[in-house]
Amino acid sequence: MKIIFYFLVCSVLIPICQIVGEGWPRWRGTLGNGTWSGPDLLQEIPAKGLELKWKLPIAPGYSGVTVAEGMAFLMDKPNASGKEEQERVLCVDVDTGKLAWSFTYPVDYKKLDYGKGPRASITFDVGKLFGLGAMGHAFCLDGLTGKKIWFRNLIREENCPPPIWGFSSSPEPLGENVLYHVGGPTGNLIALDKRNGKTKWRTGSDKRAGYAPPLSILHNGFRQLVCWGPNKIMGLPIGGGEEFWNIPYEVKYGVSIAKPIYVDGVILVCGYWNGSRAIQLGENSKEATLLWSEEDGIRGLMAQPLFRDGVVYLLDRSHGLTAFRLKTGEILWRDEHNLTAADRNPHASLVWLRHKGNDVLALNAEGELVYLSLSEGGFNEHWRVQIVGETWAHPAYSGNLVLARDDRSLFCWKLPVKLNQ
């Protein structure tokens, strides 16, 4: 009897653990750096293809998917009755694909470019959801019920000027506060109290909002925030106050999109129109100098670069996936648009499959999930499969699943996992 019970427990509980797994509680994963502790995948797609677990109709939007405690969260912009526009938060059961709850509020997109829906991903933190709408609505919801805990209009309350393409930076949790990169006359970075949404402090001299979340780093024993705004790259104190340092870098149309990378005292930002910059931090918190810049050969857009073993992998707007050395900018190779098609706005969401090794999962703008390996010597594609329609939204990975969206549906697919796991 005990043996039968043990078999039943193992056969039932193991798949559940695989589904919940590490989860994907925020934009770009648990650490926010595009790394997932995922399973070993098959090098070839099974003859029957990937198995679709479920599919749920949704409305348009660019908001990526997040997953925590067995639930998936995202935002969209449903067709509202009458003339009133709305933004909506969705909570979906990962196991069944059933909608658990939704939270909707009115919004006015006015003449917002690319105005089909919200941009930022939901951030899950200790049972609470933190979000940011395209028109500056910051909010906190109960993750289990969707009940509103607090809600703020940052354009009206904090005088935050909306960027051309709407507020897009996903909320960044930091201790008792949550950070929003929204601009404003007294600092482009604002910290709100997680409990009640009250403003705790502001910092940053670039008064316009950028599209990239700030990055918290520890350098030579000093904790600071790296924030890339439309006019400069800044090192900012936690708790508010004057910036430690800044490197001027005015980008056309304010498209500071990709989150900065920090490795061994070097900060990298990858821009679209104006190229990339690497910054060398000094011995103390106020020292920073330009290490190198590349105006034409290394230009990203929305795609977040990856780093490993001294090499950066970036989807370059003109040459496709490009590998270069972080500390020198030396270009090692380009794939000339093999990963994703050449386009005015090429895009792919790149994620390391594990904290070590070379395996990567990428969802490109055409909606293809691509499994490949990257190294300084080149790339090796194992397989690719269509999982959604055209999309710019970041997917989420959890257990043996990938969750991705386009403008019509949220999809949950089972990844081809090796059987010995």
Strand order in the sheet with 71-76: 66-68, 71-76, 85-93, 99-107
| Residue 11's pLDDT band (cuts 50, 70, 90) | very low
Rounded average pLDDT over 87-104: 98
The phi and psi torsions of 169 (rounded to 5 degrees) equal: -75, 120
Per-residue pLDDT band for 277 (boundaries 50, 70, 90) equals: very high
Quick one: pLDDT at residue 22? 72
User: How many helices (DSSP H) and strands (DSSP E) are in the chain?
Assistant: 2, 32
205: Cβ contacts below 8 Å, ≥ 6 apart: 187, 188, 232, 234, 242, 243, 246
Phi/psi region, residue 10 (left: phi>0; alpha: psi -120 to 50; beta: rest), is alpha
Main-chain phi, psi angles of 16, to 5 degrees? -65, -45
Beta strands (DSSP E) in 237-330 are 245-248, 261-263, 266-270, 276-281, 288-294, 306-308, 311-316, 320-325
CATH number of 62-211: 2.40.128.630
Res 82: pLDDT? 59
Does pLDDT of 19 surpass 50?
no
* Residue 218, both tokens: 């520890």
Q: Do the beta carbons of residue 407 and residue 395 sit within 8 Å?
A: no
Domain ranges of the chain: 62-211
In the numeric block, the tokens 């930022």 are attached to 120
Summarize the confidence of residues 27-48 as an average pLDDT: 94
User: CA angle at residue 260 from 258 to 264, to 5 degrees?
Assistant: 150
Q: How far apart are CA 149 and CA 126, in angstroms?
A: 14
H or E element, residue 8: helix 2-20
Rg (CA), the chain: 21
pLDDT-derived band of residue 81, with 50, 70 and 90 as boundaries?
Answer: low
Question: Does the pLDDT of residue 421 top 70, yes or no?
Answer: no
Q: What is the mean pLDDT of residues 149-174?
A: 96
CB 404 within 8 A of CB 371: no
Confidence of residue 419 (pLDDT cuts 50, 70, 90): confident
User: Mean pLDDT for the chain?
Assistant: 91
Handedness of CA 350, 351, 355, 357 (dihedral sign): negative
Q: Which of 396, 311, 409, 342 is nearest to 55 (CA)?
A: 409
Name the residue type at position 25.
P
Q: How far is CA 15 from CA 41, 61, 124, 399, in A?
A: 16, 31, 23, 9
Percent of the chain having pLDDT more than 70?
94
Average pLDDT over residues 415-419: 91
**Mean pLDDT (whole number) for 380-398:** 97
Nearest Cα to Cα of residue 111 among 89, 88, 134, 82: 134
8 has pLDDT over 50: no
pTM for this predicted structure = 0.93
What is the DSSP code string of 293-351?
EESSSS--SSSPPEEETTEEEEEETTTEEEEEETTT--EEEE-SSSSS---SS--EEEE
Q: What pLDDT, on a 0 to 100 scale, did the predictor assign at position 382? A: 96
List all residues 6 or more positions away from 325 whose beta carbon is below 8 Å from its beta carbon.
310, 311, 312, 332
Q: Residue 14: its pLDDT value, please? A: 32
Mean pLDDT, to the nearest integer, of 156-161?
A: 95
pLDDT at residue 278 greater than cutoff 90: yes
C-alpha to C-alpha distance for 383 and 339, rounded to whole angstroms? 11
Q: Assess whether pLDDT exceeds 50 at residue 12.
A: no
Q: What average pLDDT does the segment 106-113 reach?
A: 89
